[in-house]
C-alpha cells in the first residue's frame, strides 16, 4: 500500500472543484464575477461530483446612496451554481441554478 492512496479521493474531489471553478469563470467571463468560491460538494451515485460554486456580480451589490461609503463592506448578494463533473471523463455535464432560502 503506497502512502499516496489515502489522499486519492481527496485529490479527485480537489481536481473536480478546480474543473468546476474554471468552467464557471469561463462561462461568466464577461460579467466581472467576484468572490468566486466553493460552497458545497456532493458525490452523486458514484458517477459525478455535484459542486456548488458561489460568486457575486457588480449589480448584486446593494445601493445605499450617499451612505454607500459607510456600508462599503456590506456583502453582495451571491449567485450559486450547481456544477456536475463526471468522475470518469472529468468533464462538466451540467450547470444549473442552486436556489437558497435567502433568495425567496
Domain-wise residue ranges, the chain: 5-98
Average pLDDT, the chain: 83
Could you tell me the pLDDT band of residue 81, with boundaries at 50, 70 and 90?
very high
Could you tell me the pLDDT band of residue 58, with boundaries at 50, 70 and 90?
confident
Q: Higher model confidence: residue 60 or residue 65? A: 60
- CATH number given to 5-98: 3.10.450
What DSSP assignment string belongs to the chain? Answer: --TTGGGHHHHHHHHHHHHHHHHHHHHTGGGT-EEEEEEEEEEETTTEEEEEEEEE-GGGSPP-GGGGTTTTTPPPP-EEEEEEEETTT--EEEEEE---GGG-
With 60 as the cut, is the pLDDT of residue 76 above it? Answer: yes
Could you tell me the pLDDT band of residue 45, with boundaries at 50, 70 and 90?
confident
Could you tell me the pLDDT band of residue 25, with boundaries at 50, 70 and 90?
very high
Amino acid at each position: 500500500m503506497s502512502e499516496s492512496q489515502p489522499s486519492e479521493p481527496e485529490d479527485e474531489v480537489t481536481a473536480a472543484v478546480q474543473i468546476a471553478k474554471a468552467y464557471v469563470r469561463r462561462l461568466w467571463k464577461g460579467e466581472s464575477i467576484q468572490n468566486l468560491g466553493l460552497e458545497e460538494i456532493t458525490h452523486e451515485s458514484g458517477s459525478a461530483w455535484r459542486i456548488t460554486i458561489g460568486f457575486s456580480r457588480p449589480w448584486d451589490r446593494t445601493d445605499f446612496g450617499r451612505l454607500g461609503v459607510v456600508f462599503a463592506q456590506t456583502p453582495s448578494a451571491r449567485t450559486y451554481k450547481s456544477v456536475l463533473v463526471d468522475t470518469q471523463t472529468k468533464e462538466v455535464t451540467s450547470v444549473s441554478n442552486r436556489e437558497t432560502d435567502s433568495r425567496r
